[in-house]
A = this chain, B = another copy of it.
């Protein structure tokens, strides 16, 4: 692996490790809005799964001779800003964020992981593998909408806001990190390749909104 490639790998593992740590924080916080002990435990379990992933990624960073804190540091501000600007104000908004927001992020990281050499490609795909907890969010949101149709419009707006913020923040991160930008441009091949990547991510997002019973 060339030095530039290794740098891009460290960047990707670093941003992902910090993303898992903030996801833990946020899910743990949102768990407190749960109306039932079962819901609270379900979100706490999702949070715990993120930490397991975080640990796998930091272990790999150490193996690569990188300091995990230093690898995460360049990305803390952008990810903190994203979470600050999309703080759920209700239990259902928290669930939509856990499902739609994390799903979108996972798709994006997964696309980039395809450009990495193994074992890092396999590691990233593994930690992004859906842990099955998403089913819980889908069930809860659909049940709430069935009980009160007015929720659908509000939550659909919320879902669109999440995507908008996610896209803005991702663009800023990529623009500021040349090695990540190079990895994506080289990996996709050309502008048409980037276009197809964005289309795949958008399609999957649309499917997730539909799964929740929300207009994308």
Residues of A within 8 A of B (CB): 18, 21, 24-25, 28-29, 31-32, 36-38, 40-41, 44-45, 47-48, 51-52, 54-55, 58, 68-69, 72-73, 76
Contacts and interface: CB of A to CB of B under 8 A. Distances in A.
Given A25-B31, A28-B24, A58-B41, A47 B36 contact: no
Contacts of A32: 25
A14 B36 CA distance: 15
Contacts of A38: 68-69
Number of copies: 2
Describe A's contact surface by its main secondary structure.
helix
A47 B41 contact: no
Given A45-B51, A48-B52, 19 more contacts: A18-B37, A24-B28, A24-B48, A25-B28, A25-B32, A25-B44, A28-B29, A29-B29, A37-B68, A37-B69, A37-B76, A41-B54, A41-B55, A41-B58, A44-B51, A45-B55, A47-B47, A47-B48, A47-B51
B73 A47 contact: no
A51 to B, nearest CB: 4
A20 B41 CA distance: 10
17 contacts: A21-B37, A21-B40, A24-B44, A24-B47, A25-B28, A25-B31, A28-B47, A37-B68, A37-B73, A37-B76, A38-B69, A41-B58, A44-B51, A44-B54, A47-B51, A48-B48, A48-B51
Contacts of A36: 69
Contacts of A21: 37, 40-41, 44
A31 B50 CA distance: 15
B37 A72 contact: yes
